Structure 1
């Protein structure tokens, strides 16, 4: 089983190195970032399983970095801070944090929180992937229905015959039926747009 990859973002080098060493003892693959911008850059490139983010960073804040990571890379975070007051916890929650750790960190004590965050992050990624696949399937299903209607009207054939035309073209081009349907719908839309624009220009009288 592959090691879980954690990106540790903290501008304090001593904390970063010490915590990374402790995490590696528990068989985590640990990357390091010394600023919020570096964390965003590395997170978008490496797509780690989890980011442990210091709240206070020298450029952008940990909250800003976490929001960017969630938006650009679908990467989840837990926060590190020397404070545990309600304001910091609330800001972490608003940024979608999966956990909140208070310095100094004893890895053995917070390990359950880290493992829980890793599991939750994996569940979120799986859910988003499923939603994306479902959205794609629904869109392709819609376009297939439209394409069948176009072929039925164009050739005066049944829906079964129209679908068979799509399936035959799918085999010929070695593409999925949904992609063939999408291309057909797009080409018809382009023709309709072109003829509509041409009609408007033809019927527009000069002042």
Structure 2
């Protein structure tokens, strides 16, 4: 059985400079990405309303709604990660970009040699943030589903000196690999721990009696 080809990552490029827009689209397309182009923030929002991209490249200075205003709206109303294109490379501009939630920042004029490393680093950062959010949502759902899961996660954290997310992921993956519900595995783990504690107490009692 042949595997299905992996879907291309969809990148939205927003810039009022048509030549730069075409250049960026060509560079990213040649690197294997699917690109969409918008010459204004309003056009970008219309595109995002239909299909959310994996990443958006935003020019900071555009007529009408600026890239910063667009970024504020994306951050508040969507899960679309974004990076900025700016004519200014000063530290204040970079700090402002970070404050708006940007995962990357590229200074114009843009060339392919500088764009791709910055873009791929930003995309990796966006994927990391998306994963952490998804894990937190899954974790909160699981913990709310039953006291046993919460206790089992705490038990794994204590036994293996682990953080909460890792403990939950190990418990979840074990349940999936055995085709069982996570709360069932949690109950089994807690029961086993109770048995071990009882045996430990019995051993100590016997050793003291000798």
Q: TM-score, normalised by structure 2?
A: 0.63
The residue that corresponds to 2:34 in the other structure is: 29
| Deviating 4+ runs (over 4 angstroms) | none
Unaligned 5+ segments in structure 2 are: 1-5, 148-180, 184-210
How far the C-alpha of 1:44 sits from its partner, in A, is: 4.1
How far the C-alpha of 1:8 sits from its partner, in A, is: 0.3
Of the candidates 4, 8, 17, which is equivalent to residue 3 of structure 1? 8
After TM superposition, list the pairs within 5 Å mapping 1:43-58 onto structure 2: 43-58=48-63
The alignment of Structure 1 onto Structure 2 pairs a total of residues equal to 144
Aligned mates of 2:18, 2:118 — CA distance in 1: 23
Indicate the structure whose relative CO is greater, using CA pairs within 8 Å and at least 6 residues apart. 1
Aligned mates of 2:140, 2:42 — CA distance in 1: 32
Aligned mates of 2:139, 2:17 — CA distance in 1: 43
The residue that corresponds to 1:95 in the other structure is: 100
The residue that corresponds to 2:174 in the other structure is: none
Aligned mates of 1:137, 1:89 — CA distance in 2: 38
Cα deviations by residue, 1:74-125 (Å, 9 ceiling, x for unpaired):
1111100111122221210101111111111112322111111111111111
The residue that corresponds to 2:81 in the other structure is: 76
Q: TM-score, normalised by structure 1?
A: 0.63
- Higher gyration radius (CA): 1
The residue that corresponds to 1:104 in the other structure is: 109
The residue that corresponds to 1:186 in the other structure is: none
RMSD: 2.0
Aligned mates of 2:65, 2:85 — CA distance in 1: 15
CA contact (8 A) 1:24 1:30 kept: yes
Tell me the secondary structure at the aligned position of residue 84 of structure 1. coil
How far the C-alpha of 1:45 sits from its partner, in A, is: 3.1
CA contact (8 A) 1:63 1:95 kept: yes
CA contact (8 A) 1:10 1:34 kept: yes
The residue that corresponds to 1:140 in the other structure is: 145
Unaligned 5+ segments in structure 1 are: 143-175, 179-207
1:62 aligns to 2:54 (yes or no): no
